[in-house]
Amino acid sequence: MSTVKLTVNGKAVAVDVEDRTLLVHVLRDHLNLTGTHVGCDTSQCGACVVHVDGRAVKSCTMLAGQADGASITTIEGIAKGDELHPMQAAFRDNHGLQCGYCTPGMIMSAIDIVHRHGGQLDEATVRSELEGNICRCTGYHNIVKAVLDAAGRMKVSQAAE
Amino acid sequence: MYQTTYHRASSVDEAASLFGKSSEAKFLAGGQTLLPVMKQRLASPSDVIDLGKIKELQGVELSGDTLTIKAATTYYDIMTNADVKKAIPAIAHLTSVLGDPAVRYRGTIGGSIANNDPAADFPAALLALGATVKTNKRSISADDFFKGLFTTALEDGEIITAVSFPVPAKAGYEKMRHPASRFALTGVFVAQTKSGEVRVAATGASQSGVMRVPAIEAALKANWSPSAIDGVSISANGLLADIHGTAEYRANLVKVMAQRAVAAAG
Identify the CATH assignment for A2-76 out of 3.40.605.10, 3.10.20.30, 3.10.580.10, 2.40.160.20: 3.10.20.30
Structure-derived torsion over alpha carbons of residues B103, B209, B162, B20, reported in degrees to the nearest 10: 90
Fold (CATH) for B5-50: 3.30.43
Average pLDDT over residues A95-106: 97
CA B26 to chain A, closest CA, distance in angstroms equals 13
Short-list B152, B61, B160, B147, CA closest to B109: B160
With 80 as the cut, is the pLDDT of residue B34 above it? yes
A26 close to A17: Cβ distance less than 8 angstroms: yes
- CA distances B162 to A144, B32, B132, Å, are 39, 19, 8
CA–CA gap between residue B150 and residue B231 (Å, rounded): 33
Using an 8 Å CB-CB cutoff, list chain A residues near B3. 18-20
Q: What percent of chain A has pLDDT over 70?
A: 98
Beta strand B211-212 with B198-203 is antiparallel
Per-residue pLDDT, B180: 80
CA B28 to chain A, closest CA, distance in angstroms equals 10
Is B102 in contact with A63 (Cβ distance < 8 A)? no
Nearest Cβ partner of A66 from B31, B101, B102?
B31
Beta strand A2-8 with A71-73 is parallel
DSSP category for residue B239: B
Per-residue pLDDT, B181: 81
pLDDT tens digits for range B148-199:
999 999 999 999 999 999 999 999 999 999 888 888 999 999 999 999 999 9
Using an 8 Å CB-CB cutoff, list chain A residues near B18. none
pLDDT tens digits for range A42-59:
999 999 999 999 999 999
Nearest Cβ partner of B31 from A62, A113, A131?
A62
Using an 8 Å CB-CB cutoff, list chain A residues near B6. 2, 19-20, 63, 65-66
Q: Which residue out of A5, A43, A116 would a mutagenesis test of the B interface target, given it has the greatest number of B Cβ atoms within 10 Å? A: A43
Per-residue pLDDT, B182: 84
For A86-160, which CATH superfamily applies? [2Fe-2S]-binding domain (1.10.150.120)
pLDDT band at A161 (very low <50, low <70, confident <90, very high): low
Average pLDDT over residues A135-156: 93
The answer to whether domain A2-76 and domain A86-160 are alike in fold is: no
User: Residues of A near B (CB-CB distance < 8 A)?
Assistant: 2, 18-20, 22, 41-44, 46, 49, 55-58, 61-63, 65-66, 68, 109, 112-113, 129, 131-132
Identify the CATH assignment for B170-265 out of 3.30.450.20, 3.30.390.50, 3.40.50.2000, 3.40.50.280: 3.30.390.50
Question: CB atoms < 10 A from the CB of B230, how many?
Answer: 10
A32 close to B19: Cβ distance less than 8 angstroms: no
Is B99 within 8 Å of chain A by CB? Answer: yes
Using an 8 Å CB-CB cutoff, list chain B residues near A131. 100-101, 182
pLDDT tens digits for range B45-59:
999 999 999 999 999
Nearest Cβ partner of B102 from A2, A46, A65?
A46
Beta strand B132-135 with B66-70 is unpaired
With 80 as the cut, is the pLDDT of residue A119 above it? no
**Residue A47's closest chain B neighbor by CA?**
B102
Calculate the average pLDDT of chain A.
95
Angle between helix B89-96 and B122-129 (nearest 10):
160
Per-residue pLDDT, A159: 66
With 70 as the cut, is the pLDDT of residue A160 above it? no
Determine the 3-state secondary structure of A1 from DSSP.
Answer: coil
The ipTM of this complex is 0.95
Residue type for B68, please? T
CA–CA gap between residue B18 and residue B30 (Å, rounded): 18
Beta strand B132-135 with B160-166 is antiparallel
A64 dihedral zone (left: phi>0; alpha: psi -120 to 50; beta): alpha
Fold (CATH) for B57-166: 3.30.465
With 90 as the cut, is the pLDDT of residue B13 above it? yes
Short-list B87, B83, B96, B154, CA closest to B122: B96
B235 close to B251: Cβ distance less than 8 angstroms: yes
Query: Which residues does residue B190 pair with via DSSP β-bridges, in sequence order?
Result: B172, B200
B203 close to B184: Cβ distance less than 8 angstroms: yes
Short-list B172, B209, B169, CA closest to B189: B172
pLDDT tens digits for range B186-195:
999 999 999 9
Going from N- to C-terminal start, the domains of chain A cover 2-76, 86-160
Is B4 within 8 Å of chain A by CB? Answer: yes
Beta strand B160-166 with B66-70 is antiparallel
DSSP category for residue A74: -
Going from N- to C-terminal start, the domains of chain B cover 5-50, 57-166, 170-265
Determine the 3-state secondary structure of A81 from DSSP.
Answer: coil
Q: Number of Cβ pairs closer than 8 Å across A and B?
A: 76
**pTM over the 0.90 mark:** yes
Helices of type H across chain B: 12-21, 34-39, 75-79, 82-87, 89-96, 101-106, 109-115, 122-129, 142-145, 214-222, 247-265
CA–CA gap between residue A120 and residue A114 (Å, rounded): 9
Is B39 in contact with A66 (Cβ distance < 8 A)? no
Range 130-149 of B in CB contact (< 8 A) with A = none
Counting beta carbons within 10 angstroms of the beta carbon of residue B231, is it exposed (0 to 12), middle (13 to 18) or buried (19 or more)? exposed
